[in-house]
Amino acid sequence: MADKKYIGARSRSKEGPRHVTGRGLYTDDFTLPGILQAMILRSPHAHAKINSVDPSEALKNPDVMAVVTPEDVKRQTKPFKPGRYAAGLKRPIDEYAGAIEKVRYVGEPLGAVAARSRGAAEDALELIQVDYEPLRPVVDVREAIKPSSATLFDELGTNLAWQGSLQYGDIAAAFKSADRVVKENLKIHRYSSTPLEPFVVIASYDAASKRLTVWVTAQVPEVIYDGVREALGLEDVRVIIPDVGGGFGQKIHLIRKYVVLVSLLAMKTGRPVKWIEDRSEHMMAGGHACAQEFEAEAAVKNDGTVLGLRFNEYDDVGGSISTLTIHFTNKLNNLSNTYRTPAIHMIGNAVVTNKCPVIPNRGIGKPGMCYIWERMMDRVAQELNLTPIEVRRKNLIQPNEMPYRTISGNVYDSGDYPGLLSTLLEKIDYDKLREEQKKAREQGRLMGIGIVIGVEPGGRNAARDMAIFPEMKEPPGSGGVNGATIKLEKNGTLSLHLGSPNCGQAHETTTAQVAAEVLGTTPDQISTSIPFDSDLSPWGVAAANSGNNFHLYDIGAIHGAATKLREKVLRLAAHVLSTDPKELTIENGVVQVPGSAMKKITFAELGRIAYNNQHLIPEGMEAGLQATHYYTFPHAKPNIVPGADRLVRAQFTFSAGAHAAIVEVDKTTGMVEVKRYMIVGDNGTVINPDVVNGQVYGSAAHGIAVALGEGFIYSSEGQPLTITYLDYGKCSAAETPRVEVVHRPSPSPFTSVGQKAAGEGAAIPSPAAIASAVEDALQPFGVKVRELPLSPEAVWRLANDNPETERRSF
């Protein structure tokens, strides 16, 4: 943006210097006098009854200060309030911080130990006698819903814990008037973003004043704050979130259990307690993205127009009811993807199994929704003998239709989807690639090209869930709120307090750029205070380092606070300079009447007046130069709360990206090499290009790795087989392709500076792009890609062992 000095410009990172010198401060870097070390007692069984837990042997070691057993958890804590994702349960089920009567997945916590050293705590764990009665593990979703299966929750009587559907538009008419119905069964597997810093909690309890302070590597303060209050019955709770070593959704939900268990140890011992999760604990019990199966069908015209889409989804949600529908409800956010299709019918089935509970992970159900659309678009093209590009173009929402209301009530703020696609094809030289592919095939090489497109929603609206659960009695909060405070100090520098913690999205750098732009100072004059502290930070429900909230709520709040402060600065300056605020400009921290050598005053001079010199402050003006602003999205209506028509704004801003994946498959090994990966992205106004690029590179790299084999595997007994990075198949720099990014922004007309989301980003369309490219590469064998991951084994089977058998697993 030509008229902007800092927004859109490169700006030196504020976080960088501390990270490259090892001066980042993560939860594990803190300690307190007398601190104890904790270990978590975990289930070795996938499914078992807990008959008894006897800690007496462990307690014989004088270094062991306390043990928490299921009995303690039951007696001394309350279950968490059923979350909104459990709203569809026919019967409420209590979920405590630890397992009480049964364990339902390997690694499920059922107790904890605090000792004077980590070694003593580890030794003590082995001395706790747990009498388990193993039960039949429930591992396969299709088996789980058979009446003959063992059940995880006796209260439910079935493992099909929830079932529901939602219909927009006239789906029957769509299928009736279709020239053809294209059907496909699709699958996405279990994976996670596996943040490098595992869960870490420090709890300190002051019994005399009933005050609990926790330091925790969490993404959403509200989840911790509410979770601790609900479980421990405390009201004086302080949550401090230092630097977070990666989040991606992993550190939103399940971590609250551990905060409660560690707090309980702190309350029992009267000493501060620290717990650090180890890598294998995180891989088995830290939370997984949901394995999802879809039976999809599209009603199409012969020209490629998609009249209707229906999908029946089976979610393998693992051994908890607290995130039962999270992957299904999130599909409302990108339900239409980039398409005009006038009728959509979604059916959801949440199946509990003896596996790690599912949690939010970079996009939650959205990568699945994009996968359905983009796989179906390719399938439609194949069946109608059209090109995949034609079919997509036929159905894209057009730029002149923006803002566009989708069939489910989302309002797409801005976007030029045909433009993204055209730019992508041009930049990657699509026609030439197809020529190359022809030659490659002649030489017997398996080259594939996958082109997909997807939206990336941002902002939050929990009231969305009421569309899925009309029976919901107590609506969850609607929309989002978050705050920011900005203060001009007496030396003319500025300090910023954000409402949100951050986990690597450059909050400090980006907010300083926006504040500098609004206030007429330079980013180097601004410092942002960390850590997040619930006592000090101006936080609301959207103080959530998740769900693509930062661009909307934090930037909105900073922009609002800086705008308010600017008015104050101008008022004070005008008074001191005996002029009208309208006559004044601000540049580089100097307020002046343009051209006048006399009528000017610096931020430092104003700061000294505002805090030191009452007689220069105008009558009636508040002293000090500080402003706080709580932001809500001003264009959230209508449909912020769904009515009888179930129309709802699931999220509020819509970034988008067109992706091209060029791959080559080695038939003898099944290895897929990504030769090129290009994204033409629309993230609205880019505030800091390096930061946005980083988000796009990282999210694409993860989606690509997920598609190509990264993932969790369980044995038929429900034992996790992938509890190290190596077994899990994490990609290193050596395997990760260099992602190419081209920006083609359509700024949002509704946000503070036209910004849109970038965090979940390319993780949404990239699995679909890889699937498309691998299928294209394998075209000589006439096989279809239906399932992820496309591990070497899976690809080898497709290329060598699959005469297009209808391998429908359901």
Partner 1 sequence: MKQTIRVTVNGRVYQEDVEPRILLAHFLRENIGLTGTHIGCVVGECGACSVLLDSKVVKSCLHFAVQADGREITTIEGLAKDGELNPVQEAFVKNYAFQCGYCTPGMVMTSYALLQTNPNPTEAEIRKALAGNLCMCTGYVQIVDAVKEAAKQQSTAKV
Residues lying near partner 1 in the complex (CB under 8 A):
12-13, 15-26, 28-29, 119, 193-198, 243-248, 278-279, 503-506, 690-691, 693-695, 697-702, 724-726, 730, 732-734, 736, 738-739
Which H or E run contains 766?
helix 766-777
Query: Strand 273-276 relative to strand 36-42: parallel, antiparallel, unpaired?
Result: parallel
Nearest to 663 by CA among 654, 677, 673, 651: 673
Q: How far is the CB of 13 from partner 1 (least distance, A)?
A: 6
Alpha-carbon span 348 to 468, nearest angstrom: 10
For residue 791, the tally of other CB atoms under 10 A from its CB is 20
Nearest to 111 by CA among 74, 53, 68: 68
The residue behind tokens 């081209």 is 742
Nearest to 110 by CA among 50, 44, 42: 42
Q: How far is the CB of 509 from partner 1 (least distance, A)?
A: 9
User: Is 118 or 635 the residue whose CB approaches partner 1 more closely?
Assistant: 118
User: Is 16 or 634 the residue whose CB approaches partner 1 more closely?
Assistant: 16
User: Is 16 or 618 the residue whose CB approaches partner 1 more closely?
Assistant: 16
Give 73's contacts (C-beta < 8 A, 6+ positions apart).
Answer: 96, 97, 98, 100, 110, 111, 261, 264
Phi first, then psi, for residue 408 (nearest 5°) are -100, 0
Q: 241 near 221, Cβ under 8 Å?
A: yes
Q: How far is the CB of 697 from partner 1 (least distance, A)?
A: 4
Cβ burial, residue 804 (10 Å; 0-12/13-18/19+): exposed
Cβ burial, residue 238 (10 Å; 0-12/13-18/19+): middle
Alpha-carbon span 114 to 69, nearest angstrom: 12
User: Is 18 or 229 the residue whose CB approaches partner 1 more closely?
Assistant: 18
User: Is 617 or 661 the residue whose CB approaches partner 1 more closely?
Assistant: 661
Q: 214 near 240, Cβ under 8 Å?
A: yes
For 265-294, give the DSSP string: HHHHHSS-EEEE--HHHHHHHS-BPPEEEE
Q: How far is the CB of 280 from partner 1 (least distance, A)?
A: 8
Q: How far is the CB of 446 from partner 1 (least distance, A)?
A: 23
Q: How far is the CB of 758 from partner 1 (least distance, A)?
A: 12
Tell me: cis bond preceding 737? Omega within 30 of 0 counts: no
Alpha-carbon span 150 to 74, nearest angstrom: 25
Q: 116 near 356, Cβ under 8 Å?
A: no
Alpha-carbon span 727 to 613, nearest angstrom: 65
Alpha-carbon span 690 to 137, nearest angstrom: 47
User: Is 738 or 808 the residue whose CB approaches partner 1 more closely?
Assistant: 738
For 368-388, give the DSSP string: HHHHHHHHHHHHHHHHHT--H
| Alpha helices (H) in 64-132, listed in sequence order | 70-76, 118-127
User: Is 103 or 704 the residue whose CB approaches partner 1 more closely?
Assistant: 704
User: Is 185 or 695 the residue whose CB approaches partner 1 more closely?
Assistant: 695
Q: Which tokens is 569 given?
A: 């600065």
Query: What does the angle CA 656 – CA 658 – CA 662 come to, to the nearest 5 degrees?
Result: 150
Q: 317 near 357, Cβ under 8 Å?
A: yes
The residue behind tokens 């062992």 is 801
Q: 138 near 47, Cβ under 8 Å?
A: yes
Q: How far is the CB of 620 from partner 1 (least distance, A)?
A: 46
Q: How far is the CB of 15 from partner 1 (least distance, A)?
A: 7
Alpha-carbon span 266 to 347, nearest angstrom: 45
Question: How many Cα atoms sit within 13 Å of 404 on the Cβ side?
Answer: 23
Q: How far is the CB of 23 from partner 1 (least distance, A)?
A: 7
Let me know how many helices (H) and strands (E) the chain has, helices first.
22, 29
Assign 3-state DSSP to the chain and report helix, strand, coil percentages, each to 5: 30, 25, 45
Which H or E run contains 348?
strand 344-352
Q: 201 near 274, Cβ under 8 Å?
A: yes
Q: How far is the CB of 362 from partner 1 (least distance, A)?
A: 10
Q: 731 near 710, Cβ under 8 Å?
A: yes
Nearest to 547 by CA among 766, 357, 317, 362: 362
Phi-psi region of 696 (alpha: psi -120 to 50; beta: other; left: phi over 0): alpha
Alpha-carbon span 291 to 314, nearest angstrom: 8
Q: Which tokens is 253 given?
A: 């939900």
Q: Which tokens is 340 given?
A: 């005009």
